[in-house]
Structure 1
Amino acid sequence: MPTLLLRLAAPMQAWGIASNFDTRKMALAPTKSGVIGLLAAALGIRRDAPERLTPLNQLRFGVRTDRAGSLLVDFHTAGNLTPLQKKQKLKETPYITRRHYLADAVFLVGLESTDRALLEQLADALQSPAYPLFLGRRSCPPTLPLCLGIREIDLVESLRSEPALASAAQLGSEKSVCILLDADPLEPNAFPQRDLPLSFDPRHRRFGYRAVKELRFSPQEPVSSTTQHDPFAELGGA
């Protein structure tokens, strides 16, 4: 069964998983809702067309963490007075929010389907997206290459066999690599995660649950350094 592979790397990523009033938390790996949002943007799917998400939700999803990155907490302050209140010179109490990001993380994402035509359509759309692409938040554009192409093997084998996207030094002392996969809810050690997008409509966002399982395996040899994140690459070198 063919699998489309994506390389998700950027100076910052933010895969939202839960928000609690002024704190916007994130998952430590790309979420299915976040990646489907990326695909929907590439295809030009509007937020008010939830029915077009169905074939994307049916893709079997998996993610491999090649470089976990580091947690970054960004503090935002904003005024909370209306223009009239400002004229009345009322005392202002700044509103503080905390937004979580992953810095310098690298992930390999796999999307498996029996519909090869759909995978080819997605690969083409990612090369020439209808809307700007971002990794969780608009302030987090991806670095290139994003789309690694289609592999003629299943999801698990694709994630196991693809060479590491981070150098040996960046992989550190970890002796195993973690992958998270869509699973059957009845599988042993499967756990629920609420990141299956039912609607991205800002008036009524809805997310469902999916079952996820974790696998660990020894990493393959890293790919050449030309695929590593280079901040000067988009400028033609330094």
Structure 2
Amino acid sequence: MAVLLLRLAAPLQAWGSNSKFIIRNTEREPTKSGVVGMLAAALGIQRNDDPKKPEPLTALRFGVRAEKEGRLLKDFHMVHYPKATPDVTERHYLSDAVFLVALESEDTAFLQKIAEALQHPVYPLYLGRKSCPPTLPIVWGVREKSLEAVLKEEPPLCNEKAGTFRIAYEVPFGGIPVQDVPQSFSQLHRQHGWRMKCEEIITGKEHDPFSEL
């Protein structure tokens, strides 16, 4: 079992799962749909390709640790259409947030392939919306541990002091149902399936830099 770690940080992020019409919300942490979409862009998978192409990505077990929760930001937009009255839209973002995303698989070679693609992406990468490009580095490495162990034991990304973190990870049963598993990225007929999510609050351990020597 191996886990690919991603560092998702940017001035703005937006992870919508139920946004419709003029109000575009964001979740508190990256969605599986949003992250799988970013991986598909890195690998060169297009929206109108065979829907089965992203299936190896959606099969990855997904988890997130909120390193820095960020602040909710609401933006005002005017959308203009030809020969139509402009629409007022409300878009929500996470400002100055940092997340550690974990993707678990038994196929370490596949995780390495994803890591290489993220470092040399076919299409531009963004964190939920095209206006949210990520800061570097994105790839944080591959660990030979379980997803839960990595989320609980990986040293903090933002500082070296002990802290309290919120983690959310995919479970086979007994969690909260979330509809953010992409089944089709087609702009004409997007579809999302369900997964079960579990949340925990953990206390991080103080990082000893000499332990790496």
Q: Same fold judged by TM-score > 0.5?
A: yes
> 1:150, CA displacement in angstroms?
0.4
What are the superposed Cα offsets for residues 202-235 of structure 1, whole Å, 9 maximum, x if unpaired? 01111011111112211234699xxxxxxxxxxx
Separation of aligned partners in 2, 1:146 and 1:203: 30
Instruction: Check if 1:146 corresponds to 2:173.
Output: no
My pick for the range that moved more, 59-68 or 44-53, is: 44-53
Asked if the contact 1:48/1:200 (under 8 Å) is kept, the reply is: yes
Indicate which of 168, 176, 193 corresponds to 1:180: 168
More helix by share: 1
Amino acid at match of 1:193: V
Give the structure 1 partner of residue 64 of structure 2: 63
Deviation at 1:78, TM superposition (A): 3.3
Q: Which amino acid aligns with 2:179?
A: R
The residue matched to 1:117 in structure 2 has which SS? helix
The answer to whether 1:162 aligns with 2:154 is yes
> Does structure 1 residue 208 correspond to structure 2 residue 209?
no
* Pairwise CA distance, 1:94: 4.0
Task: Tell me how large the CA RMSD over aligned residues is.
Answer: 1.9
Equivalent residues of 1:166, 1:222 under 8 A apart: no
Matched length: 208
What is the CA distance between 1:20 and its match in structure 2? 3.2
Percent identity of paired positions between Structure 1 and Structure 2? 50
The SS at the match of 2:130 is: coil
Instruction: Write 1 or 2 for the structure with the bigger share of strand.
Output: 2
CA drift of 1:77 comes to 1.5
TM-score normalised by length of structure 1 = 0.82
Residues 10 and 201 (structure 1), Cα distance of their counterparts in 2 relative to 1, 3 Å cut = same
Provide the TM-score with structure 2 as the length reference: 0.92
Q: Find runs of 4+ consecutive structure 1 residues off by over 3 angstroms.
A: 78-81, 220-224
2:104 aligns with 112
